[in-house]
Amino acid sequence: MTDKNHLNPLKESLGTNYNPSNILPAKLSADSQLHFRCHPGVSCFTACCGNINIILTPYDILRIRRALKLPADEFLLRYTTPVYLEKTDLPGVKINLDENGRCPFVTEQGCMIYEQRPTTCRYYPVGMSYFHSAGQEEAGAEEFYFLVKEDHCKGHEEDKLQTISEWRVDQGIDESDDMNREWMEIVMRRKSFGLQATLSESAKKMFFMASTDLDKFRRFVFESPFLETYEIDQETLDKIKTDDVALMFFSFRYLTATLFGTKGVGITIKADKIRAKVEELKDKQAGAEARAEETYNELVKDRDALLKAQAEAKKSKK
């Protein structure tokens, strides 16, 4: 579309309030054709920028707040509400709607952050879904498309015919997807574990901070014992000190390493920290063994005392 829009390419992963009856029952590919055009002349212009659920990816947050010239914490406070990403225990944020259920960025002229609009808004009316084969969670997910056709959206009545690939280029979706892909993979992998596998509160807080507030994540890297624990090459450190996009990609690698224990992502725990942990575990184990021995010895003592008492009782009866 050429102006504001909505709905979620990330539906299956992040959740959107589509009415399932508006989803056309066909699995589409990048070569499938789409009859659609959205422009300020359509009678429904901006109708779709209300009563929607727009989950923001880390890159969405970064580019919108940059455009608004706001630090991450102020942007989050003013424009978002925390939510759990659909069917996961991972916390993220969605855009706050105003008292009329409208997006805070919609005006009569269209979207005031159009060039930086969220990924979700770029896709509409196309949806994208990811599919992970069971047991293949570490492999890349298969992507496919579907079409959302809602009564109020007149863009479907326009003449323009294009493939989904062309639609993606037109809407700048490729760049968004490249920026979001690694984070989406984390969400999908976590989702494949089901809700019975729950993350610790500190892991949830870390995911939330890294996914929503890069300013805070940078302070965490440079102003906490982080660098005493992890081995990070100097080139990376120099880059992430000032480059937000590099820091964002670094945060994805950090989350992948910590949430899934994935190796080979360039983030390793320093050898002395591992040794200290092994010693700590050994101490704990040695402590547990000593306690077990103590308990055993007490039981033996009790048993001997009992046998002695029984023997004495027998003797006195004779």
Q: Which residues bind ligand SF4 (CB under 6 A)?
A: 1, 4-6, 38, 42, 44-49, 54, 103, 105-106, 111, 113, 117-118, 121, 124, 152-155
Q: What whole-number distance in Å separates Cα of residue 2 and Cα of residue 158?
A: 13
Beta-carbon neighbour count of residue 283 at 10 Å?
A: 10
Least distance between ligand SF4 and beta carbon 68 (Å): 12
User: Looking at beta carbons only, is 110 or 190 nearer to ligand SF4?
Assistant: 110
Q: Please identify, using beta-carbon distances, which residue of 111 and 247 lies nearer to ligand SF4.
A: 111
Give the tokens for residue 110. 């269209």
CB of 161 to ligand SF4, least distance (A): 16
From CA 175, how far away is CA 162, in angstroms rounded?
19
User: What are the angstrom distances between the C-alpha of 93 and each of 55, 90, 191, 208?
Assistant: 6, 10, 17, 9
Decide whether 124 or 249 has the Cβ nearer to ligand SF4: 124
Considering the complex, state which of residue 52 and residue 221 has its C-beta at the smaller distance from ligand SF4: 52
Least separation, in Å, of the C-beta of 38 and ligand SF4? Answer: 3
Paired sense of beta strands 142-147 and 91-95, if any: unpaired
> Side chain identity at 237, as an amino acid letter?
L
CB 154 → ligand SF4: shortest distance, Å? 5
With residue 38 as reference, give the H or E element that holds it. Answer: none
Give 113's contacts (C-beta < 8 A, 6+ positions apart).
64, 67, 68, 105
Query: What is the C-alpha separation between 41 and 154, in angstroms, rounded?
Result: 11
CA dist 192 and 63 (Å) reads 29
Amino acid at 109: Q
Cβ(55)–Cβ(10) below 8 Å: yes
Instruction: Give the nearer residue to ligand SF4 in terms of CB position, either 61 or 186.
Output: 61
Give the nearer residue to ligand SF4 in terms of CB position, either 43 or 242: 43
Of the pair 50, 266, the CB lying nearest ligand SF4 is at 50
- Minimum distance, C-beta of residue 246 to ligand SF4, in the bound complex (Å): 26
CA angle 36, 6, 90 (to 5 degrees): 135
Question: How much is the CA Rg of the chain, to the nearest whole Å?
Answer: 28
Q: Minimum CB separation from ligand SF4 for residue 85, in Å?
A: 18
* In the complex, least distance from residue 291 CB atom to ligand SF4, rounded to whole angstroms: 60
